[in-house]
Structure 1
């Protein structure tokens, strides 16, 4: 290691620690070169948390355990991946505490093959504080490298270091240690966090119907504020009961207060539960009382809250922007006191539907005096200083803070629309265009995340299109090319023995619906489509889809396709653009809270035939699956589906039913995907036969008894045992001539 660089790094560690800020150092070269810097840090007596995908380097963090480190902290972090992945980087920046260095290794091969890696390194080079150190600058001169070239590289790095130091000198007056003012006695770590807790408590206790919204960037103690609020609510409830009072409370003094906690994933509540345990231990020293208090804060999955509406005094929802707006509105309407907390610039992918749509909805309810609405935004970081350069770089480079530009209908009146395909190299080089595109996608899609940025730049099958008016971005679409399945692997895919990347539509039609002919068709799938929120319902979405259809025809695709969580509004939009619903998922999607639908618009005669066959079978099976799997399907969606029903004999055995029977019997497809075909064959057989061994299948398929009840009644140990029995029955029906 160069001695000048070593001296700089050692001095820099002291400065970082003094001002509680953090620095990124990208190390381009072999992993052994990068690991020297880990050893340098640890030689100073500091611990460096290592994430490594190289077998020769011991990793403290396993890839599947990264999220477990949320809420923890590390002095320094070394990220040593084989291929740079932004979500892991963004998550671990939230673990690195003030005074720490993030060492990021990127191999030369990764830079050569990944447009995103090149983009990220270039963003770092342009920053005034962070460093890019290349192994080639310090290796011995080899091959055609000249001494002068090596000197130029070392000089460039020295200039980077000088610029970094100048940045610090200019920023130091603005970057300081957090004020040591006296905090609330609620065990909060910052005044900001204490104020958030106060906002929750006051709005909850003082009003009959309250909604409190807490927003924050990562590392501000949002989840901990929820837990601290829970314990303070429990403490006041206990105090009122012991005093025989109900001062300022709208809750029944004779009933223990009950608090529900929810989130898109229970695993994202790890920080909440850690703080809850700490705060309860501070409130109650007796272990039995601690357990009683914990029992009064219960986790509820989102679908249970929406469908069953369990009785609660207070509901708290963390990472709320990862939840679809219709579900958020339902929760706000069903409970008297709700607290929504969310990360605004999170790595997870939190669309701005929360900001644009849900908060407007709450404001309208507050204006009608239906609720007391209070909002609080946490500004002050807990583990690092405000204006930390690493946080700002993370926001800027990963576009976590990308915001759409305001635009009105008047701005585009009588202007010509421009539809264009975007070259990915230009996207990577022109940050402003990429930022605009990403901001619009985030505004429309709650699942858009940092990994999508890498997907946009690197995935060879993804195409990016934009729609502009008078130079202003009004629409964007991400399309993925799903060409015909290679002929040499079609049989394996049809047999269910293999899944192939980037062939979602065909594989869904084959493996769920049994339409093997889809293997020979090509689909241009709409992955994401977004129109500026201020310009929706003006026909721009219809126009954008029309342009995409022209592109699909030009590129010789058989059909357009798309998949999304089905609701009344979205289904109506796609049907108006001649897309047909061919499949509904059998369970609600965890992310959207809705049944996922697969829709197709044929562009060739072969795709038209497949669509017609699929619509016939969808019509035939709908009543059966509606009773078994789709009970929670909204009435408005059912009405739209029924409008597309075709004339067909629902209970007459056809070739499709026989294929469903065979596919399930040999294990190619799942029971519920074949259930209607099995039902039709079973009814046809029972019309002329009696067989008591078929009784359990009759109870489930014909009488539509719940699976749990059938298993209990007929002695099956569970779903797996029941399906094994069903396969035996289906094989017996095949022997009886149903083939």
Structure 2
């Protein structure tokens, strides 16, 4: 293959039998160095880089001239999105697939991941692949190579030949200069790092615009100027490979283009190429170190600058915690990508930035540096996977009209053929949930146990819900699931009730799980979500479901939404999930007598164990979440030893404590009584400040040590904490 200086990438489908296609591609790509080609396949016997679709995140930060995705191994939209981003300008993404006339009946290996008992792969109707086929055949930029038979021989067909498609060098193959946008972002990072006031910077772009390069170069130049402690945060350590690589390159003295006054005093060890070891890069007295998001919040390491890469893939509350902990933070985010949705990030987190650091800066990288503008591969990937979907523009349809809406169960056959409505649906979900991925679109179209609801205003979708049918399992599953010997795909609510809560017969009940619920960001707070839940609940009740529920990453705000819609909290997970940094929660609302019996038993068990859980594995949750969990709970539940009301001596003890005559440790029982009997006031912050509320919860309810309380609330020592607690308890009021 000849090398040309063009930056556009190509997408080529190789259509035919699998063995023919693999052999044909291996022959055609043999002239390229093995390190320039990656194969995504389960086939054996291929040379070079090879991963299965579930391993593609290993490829993050890497670049290839050519990539081959074997769709015979499974059509995985998330994997395709990742792999497409590794192909450099001028490169080719090959997709090996059956002839397009076979796609409607193709037994995709991925179907096994889309079905739950009692469904089988044969129950999938293939809506997603039908839609994808239409997009392939209608795009003139997509090239096809078809297998033809002539006298028993298998030869490439007439549509295209790889020899006619050149592979070019990357756009930055010569010189490696930063783009104008990158230079602007680099200077903005350096200005932030050198500033004296608390501030933040957001760098956003689509993929291929060089955000990782900017972060790496900035870290290198800052470390060269003075010994800084720079922390790098990302959803997973593999995501920062490109940042680290560019930082190491920038710290190579021989290639450095910037002058550093510190160079002359660098130790001899720093004169050699730095090494990334144990998630850390040392350079002189400075360092660049990676921390997982939950780790940085729990450990609170010191840092002069924090770089958060792929911020859209992290929950908003984690980003807020990082912002609160550190003086200088850079948030780098992909606008449209597999890592998480930048639109949701923009709508949710930027509002927090406005409140906390009103002078925060923003730089958007528009110029592609890894492939050319109007790249055919990027255009097709965005269109087919709906990476750039957005909710409807409300300003174009409201025009002062009353919000008269209709809610309906969506017909998925009709939906799969309506690109405009699909884009509105995915746009809603991506703004509502930080982890929405291209694979979610396939699930919504193909999973037999899913049903979709939409809320429409003037025929435009403004809210949506995804519901999974679960439960109704036979007696043969009862003991194996209850004893933890079996776990079947899906059926999250029934299996949680059985395994975690010990309700052996709960798997037999018919359940409806709310997988996603989303309301247009400009229309939130108008009861659209609550009304949608009420409408679909009525439908499900009429259809014989025993209950509706949800499992989600618990925050106080989200939990209150469910509680306000009459869902009872039944479970909080023992440990935080790595993906969200939150404990998992389970809520439920019953429709039938059997469902209500199960709910009552589960809620009783949960409330009885809640104070013990708060003392043990929930000691690190926020005070706001403690109060949300405890909302409406009687004092006897929070005080299982039947503490009772405050007697006269208790009142004297509380008064003595608030006046400074008694120590906290000598008044433990009356103080706990006092707080538990005033939970409603505490929850409403009606007569205490937020800091006073948090202090009461952490010390008296969660029973943290004085040092833990001081550290978490940034108080000035034990005496300050004790005086503030005396004041807070006194302000709870004399009434009981």
Q: TM-score, normalised by structure 1?
A: 0.74
Aligned partners of 2:337 and 2:387 also within 8 Å: yes
Match of 1:74 among 64, 70, 73: 64
Q: 2:528 aligns with which of 536, 540, 553?
A: 540
For the aligned residues, what is the CA RMSD?
A: 3.1
| Cα drift, residue 609 of structure 1 | 0.8
8 Å contact from structure 1 (residues 332, 338) kept in 2: yes
Structure 1 CA distance for aligned equivalents of residues 171 and 283 of structure 2: 36
Distance 2:517 2:133 in 1: 29
Residue in structure 2 matched with residue 269 of structure 1 by the alignment = 240
> Structure 1 residues 59 and 577, CA, compared in 2 at 3 Å: closer, same or farther?
farther
CA distance in 2, matches of 1:259, 1:446: 26
Does the 8 Å contact 1:86/1:398 carry over to 2? yes
SS class of match (1:608)? helix
2:581 corresponds to which residue? Answer: 593
2:204 corresponds to? 215
- Which moved further from structure 2: 114-123 or 399-408? 114-123
Deviations 1:475-520 (A, max 9, x none): 0111111031233232221221111112110111111111112111
Q: Deviations over 1:341-385 (max 9, x none)?
A: 111111133353311121233234454xxxx42211122233322
Alignment of 1:308-457 (within 5 A): 308-350=299-341, 352-367=343-358, 372-408=359-395, 410-411=398-399, 413-457=401-445
The answer for the alignment partner of 1:224 in structure 2 is 213
1:712 maps to which residue?
Answer: none
Q: Secondary structure at the match of 2:217?
A: helix
**Structure 2 regions of 5+ residues with no counterpart?**
108-125, 257-262, 275-281, 643-701, 706-736
What is the match of residue 131 of structure 2? 119
SS in 2 for 1:523: strand
**Structure 1 segment 642-721 matched on structure 2, within 5 A:** 642-645=630-633, 650=640
* Alpha-carbon contact 1:125-1:131 (below 8 Å) kept: no
Does the Cα contact within 8 Å between 2:333 and 2:342 map onto a contact in 1?
Answer: no
Residue in 2 that maps onto 1:105: 96
- Once the two structures are TM-superposed, the CA of residue 411 in structure 1 deviates from its matched residue by 4.1
Q: Which has the higher helix share?
A: 1
Distance 1:281 1:18, change over 3 A: closer
Are 2:156 and 1:201 equivalent residues in the alignment? Answer: no
- Give the structure 2 partner of residue 473 of structure 1: 461
Who is 1:462 aligned against? 450
Q: Name the SS of the counterpart of 2:331 in structure 1.
A: strand
Deviation at 1:178, TM superposition (A): 5.5
Match of 2:666 in 1: none
Q: Hey, what's the Cα distance between the residues in 1 that align with 2:96 and 2:205?
A: 30
Match of 1:171 in 2: none
More deviation, 116-125/593-602: 116-125
Cα contact 1:17–1:98 (8 A) shared by 2: no
Contact kept? 1:188, 1:194, Cα under 8 Å: no
Q: Which of 280, 287, 291 is residue 269 of structure 2 equivalent to?
A: 287
Secondary structure of the equivalent of 1:352? helix
> Measured at CA, do residues 294 and 564 of structure 1 come closer, stay the same or move farther in structure 2, by a change above 3 Å?
farther
CA distance in 2, matches of 1:295, 1:329: 26
Q: Is the 8 A contact 1:412 1:470 kept in 2?
A: no
Change (3 A) 1:467 1:705: closer
Q: Secondary structure at the match of 1:478?
A: strand
1:512-661 to 2 correspondences below 5 Å: 512-645=500-633, 650=640
SS at match of 1:546: helix
Q: Note if 1:235 corresponds to 2:247.
A: no
Give CA-to-partner distance per residue, 1:664-692, whole Å, 9 cap, x none.
Answer: xxxxxxxxxxxxxxxxxxxxxxxxxxxxx
Secondary structure of the structure 1 residue equivalent to 2:221: helix
Q: For 1:626 and 1:180, how far apart are their aligned partners in 2?
A: 57
1:498 to 486, 492, 502: 486
SS in 2 for 1:61: strand
- Please tell me whether residue 128 in structure 1 is matched to residue 147 in structure 2: no
* 1:84-163 correspondence to structure 2 within 5 Å: 84-107=75-98, 111-112=104-105, 113=107, 114-135=126-147, 138-139=148-149
Q: Residues of 1 paired with 2:315 and 2:68: CA distance? A: 35
Between 1:380-389 and 1:51-60, the stretch displaced more is 51-60
Residue 43 to residue 333, structure 1, CA distance change in 2 (3 Å): closer
Moved more, 434-443 or 409-418: 409-418
Gaps of 5+ in 1: 1-12, 143-152, 169-174, 238-255, 653-702, 707-739
Distance between the aligned counterparts of 1:62 and 1:633, measured in 2? 39
- The alignment's TM-score, normalised by the length of structure 2, stands at 0.74
Task: Report SS of the residue matched to 1:563.
Answer: strand
DSSP-derived class of the 1:99 partner: strand
1:258 to 229, 237, 244: 229
Q: Give 1:300's aligned residue.
A: 291
Matched residue count:
591
Q: Is the 8 Å Cα contact of residues 129 and 389 (structure 1) preserved in structure 2?
A: yes
Q: 1:26 aligns with which of 4, 8, 13?
A: 13
Structure 2 distance, partners of 1:294, 1:498, is 52
Residues 223 and 272 in structure 1, CA contact (< 8 A), matched pair in contact too = yes
Contact 2:391 2:462 in 1 (8 A): no
Q: Distance in 1 between matches of 2:287 and 2:33?
A: 41
Q: Deviations over 1:543-591 (max 9, x none)?
A: 1001110221132111001011222221111111110110001112222
Tell which deviates more after alignment, 258-267 or 461-470.
258-267
SS in 1 for 2:192: helix
- Going from structure 1 to structure 2, the CA distance change for 1:263 and 1:580 (only over 3 Å counts) comes to same
Contact 1:124 1:132 in 2 (8 A): no
How far the C-alpha of 1:140 sits from its partner, in A, is 5.4
Q: Check conservation: 2:220, 2:248, Cα contact below 8 A.
A: no
User: Contact between 2:392 and 2:462, CA under 8 Å: does it hold in 1?
Assistant: no
Cα distance in 1 between the residues matched to 2:78 and 2:418? 22
1:443: Cα distance to partner? 0.5
SS at match of 2:29: helix
Give 1:72 shift: 2.0
Q: Distance in 2 between matches of 1:489 and 1:57?
A: 42
Contact 1:462–1:479 (8 Å) recurs in 2 = yes
Deviation at 1:264, TM superposition (A): 2.0
The separation in 2 between residues aligned to 1:609 and 1:58, in whole angstroms, is 60
